Amino acid sequence: MADFSLEKDILEDKIKGLSDREIGNKYNVNLKFIEKSITKNLGINISNPVNTLSNPLKIIKKIVPKDFSLEQNTVWSFKSRGSWATHNGNYRGNWSPYIPRNILLKYSNEDDLVLDYFCGSGTTGVEAKLLNRNFIGIDINENAVKLANENADFLTKAADENVKFLEHSRVSIDFMVGDARNLDLINDNSIDLICSHPPYSNIINYTHNNKSDLSNYEVGDFLKEIEKVAKESYRVLKDNKYCSILIGDMRKNKNVIPLGFWTIDKYLKEGFVIKELIIKRQHNCKTTGFWYTNSIKFNFLLLAHEYLVIFKKSDKKKVKNHKSNNTEVSFSQYEKSKIKFIENNNIQQESTTVWIFEKKDWVNNTLNNLIKRYGNGSYSIYNDNPKKSSNLLIYFYDNNFSNFSKDFYNYLEKEGILAIICEDIRVDDNLVYSNPIYIEKYFNKDDKLKIKEIVVIQIKDAYNPNNKNSNLNINHKYLIIYKLNV
Ligand SMILES: C[S@@+](CC[C@H](N)C(=O)[O-])C[C@H]1O[C@@H](n2cnc3c(N)ncnc32)[C@H](O)[C@@H]1O
């Protein structure tokens, strides 16, 4: 039974300006409860009810982010979320405007038609307006659509003469209530770019009891529904154009639920291919104190990344299978590392899912972190005369995968840990083939293996400034960590 007077008190305190932490302590409730009370009573999930509603038309002075430059690598990290134009973090779970800004500039042209079918508070629409793209924003929640309209309703006094946009925008920016699973109002092959940010299953709920809101669906049903969104995306997008989505993983108990890879797979099934697989780092993760201690004590890593995928609508599937010639890259990296690997028990342990190392020592640091966290006295490396029955088996993904997948059990203790080091690779036509997605899909059928973590290894100094083509420089690798349950 809902406690209406408690919800009312929370709302009143919110309006008075108390923080979530203060309210949490006062009524002994968690953030999810506070969010639920606000969403239920105001019809929208916002952190600051005072500032949001009924703002008058704004005149914006700051219409470009300071020192902006386009991202060049596959790992994106924005220290501040961005507060130019009307952008702010009030709508829970909204994305940093740096993301749509990069995507719009890289994958569309002025006067193109851009679609965001999970538009929320309108971040993508605001960027479309600033960058002279026509825009359709759709959201299931009429209150989000109202807020998006307010956020995009501004005039600018452009201080910077390089910015072409002045007081009146020449493009049309439309927000409407609708359902991303059914885009009937939009014609086939009519959209130049899709740039959208779905809910991550039910991590944040955006409405109260709205059956069409995908943030009210558990993982299995969420994936069935997102398949319909992927189908509609393929239908409305023009050939050879791009569809981008940001999606993250979830954690259940101490295991990870790879919602990101599973969602990507739904888009691939509809016929999309991957142009870029970008890692978006999250900065709200604690790497010290309470969380650090718990991460070691309970042996789990804090989720610190999301996947930003740029799909291409290609007429035929050009990225065929994992037996591409390029898979050898992983193997040669191991060959080189053999010479360099030095066991070091004093290494500082990583506590989040993003490990950032320099190129020269990423192998050493990765192996030492794995050994310290999971080795428990015995480990071996499958590519190098592995020992029978280790607590930890490390495998550098290579061309021997089909043999490995049949016999790796022999090298692991019961409840042992299997860590696979792998990467996305650039293939023909400037596309990306993702070995990690392939591997996760392959082992997903095996009930003896339970996925524990997906870690991203960011290679700090891998950027190649001479890379003049339009591809991003792939500067990350993955570690997929399984536990054997036999
Ligand atoms: C992660 S938020 C998007 C936030 C947005 N990028 C922003 O910056 O404000 C996801 C949005 O999807 C909306 N949504 C959920 N189910 C939907 C559906 N079936 N069709 C359209 N929108 C939906 C939610 O109301 C929520 O606003």
Find the CATH number of the domain harbouring 158.
3.40.50.150
The alpha carbons of the chain give a radius of gyration, in whole angstroms, of: 23
**Token pair belonging to 280:** 């978006």
Query: Does residue 175 lie within any of the structural domains?
Result: yes
For residues 296 and 349, state if they share a domain: no
For residues 115 and 217, state if they share a domain: yes
For residues 240 and 339, state if they share a domain: no
Contact 253, 205 (CB under 8 A): no
For residues 23 and 116, state if they share a domain: no
For residues 217 and 352, state if they share a domain: no
End-to-end CA distance of the chain: 42
- CA dist 329 and 399 (Å) reads 10
Protein residue with its CA nearest to atom 16 in ligand 1: 213
Query: Does residue 318 lie within any of the structural domains?
Result: no
Number of domains observed in the structure of the chain = 3
Burial pattern 408-442, b for ≥16 Cβ within 10 A else e, equals bbebbbeebbbbbbbbbbbbeeebbbbbbbbbbee
Ligand 1: residue of 47, 119, 224, 245 to mutate (most ligand atoms within 8 A of CB) is: 119
For residues 305 and 392, state if they share a domain: no
Query: Does residue 90 lie within any of the structural domains?
Result: yes
Bridge partners (DSSP) listed for residue 155: 59
Measured torsion, CA atoms of residues 392, 365, 250, 262, in degrees rounded to the nearest 10: -80
| Per-residue confidence (pLDDT) for residue 32, from 0 to 100 | 82
CA 120 / ligand 1 centre spacing (Å): 5
Q: Is 136 in the pocket of ligand 1 (CB under 6 A)?
A: no
Looking at residue 357, which CATH number applies to its domain?
A: 3.40.50
Q: Is 212 in the pocket of ligand 1 (CB under 6 A)?
A: yes
Global pTM?
0.90
- CA dist 97 and 87 (Å) reads 7
For residues 159 and 272, state if they share a domain: yes
| Per-residue confidence (pLDDT) for residue 202, from 0 to 100 | 87
Domain boundary among 256, 286, 313: 313
For residues 230 and 93, state if they share a domain: yes
Q: Is 232 in the pocket of ligand 1 (CB under 6 A)?
A: no
For residues 257 and 329, state if they share a domain: no
- CA dist 217 and 111 (Å) reads 36
Report the atom number in ligand 1 closest to the C-alpha of 119: 5
- What distance lies between CA 154 and its chain's CA centroid? 29
| Domain with 18 in it | 4-42
**Token pair belonging to 465:** 């400034």
- CA dist 27 and 46 (Å) reads 19
For residues 426 and 462, state if they share a domain: yes
CA 134 / ligand 1 centre spacing (Å): 19
Contact 460, 355 (CB under 8 A): no
Query: Does residue 11 lie within any of the structural domains?
Result: yes
Ligand 1: residue of 81, 207, 215 to mutate (most ligand atoms within 8 A of CB) is: 215
Query: Does residue 162 lie within any of the structural domains?
Result: yes
**Token pair belonging to 223:** 């994936």
| Per-residue confidence (pLDDT) for residue 333, from 0 to 100 | 58
Domain boundary among 249, 280, 313: 313
For residues 377 and 231, state if they share a domain: no
- CA dist 127 and 481 (Å) reads 38
Query: Does residue 51 lie within any of the structural domains?
Result: no
Query: Does residue 320 lie within any of the structural domains?
Result: no
CA 121 / ligand 1 centre spacing (Å): 8
Among candidate residues 196, 219, 197, 260, the one with its CA nearest the CA of residue 455: 260
- CA dist 33 and 122 (Å) reads 25
SS3 category, 115: strand
CA 207 / ligand 1 centre spacing (Å): 10
Query: Does residue 429 lie within any of the structural domains?
Result: yes
Q: How many CB atoms are closer than 10 A to CB 292?
A: 16
Helices (H), 238-397: 259-269, 289-297, 328-340, 362-370
Q: How far is CA 435 from CA 293, 321, 482, in A?
A: 32, 9, 16
| Per-residue confidence (pLDDT) for residue 172, from 0 to 100 | 93
List Cβ neighbours of 215 (8 Å cut-off, separation of 6 or more): 199, 201, 202, 203, 204, 205, 206, 207
For residues 248 and 371, state if they share a domain: no
Digits of tens for pLDDT over the chain (486 positions)? Answer: 567 788 888 888 888 888 888 888 888 888 888 888 888 878 888 887 765 544 555 667 778 898 899 999 999 999 888 989 899 999 998 999 999 999 999 999 999 999 999 999 999 999 999 999 999 999 999 999 999 999 998 876 554 544 444 455 789 999 999 999 999 999 999 999 999 999 998 888 999 989 999 999 999 999 999 999 999 999 999 999 999 999 999 988 788 999 999 999 999 999 999 999 999 999 865 555 666 777 777 888 999 999 999 999 987 555 554 444 444 445 555 665 555 678 888 888 899 999 999 988 898 999 999 999 999 889 999 988 898 999 999 999 988 899 999 999 999 999 999 999 999 999 877 999 999 999 999 999 898 999 999 999 999 976 666 566 689 999 999 999 999 987
Protein residue with its CA nearest to atom 24 in ligand 1: 206
| Per-residue confidence (pLDDT) for residue 322, from 0 to 100 | 41
Domain boundary among 278, 313, 348: 313
Contact 144, 205 (CB under 8 A): no
Among candidate residues 141, 138, 150, the one with its CA nearest the CA of residue 45: 141
Sheet-wide strand order for 379-381: 354-357, 449-459, 476-484, 412-422, 390-396, 379-381
Q: How far is CA 464 from CA 269, 425, 473, in A?
A: 33, 16, 7
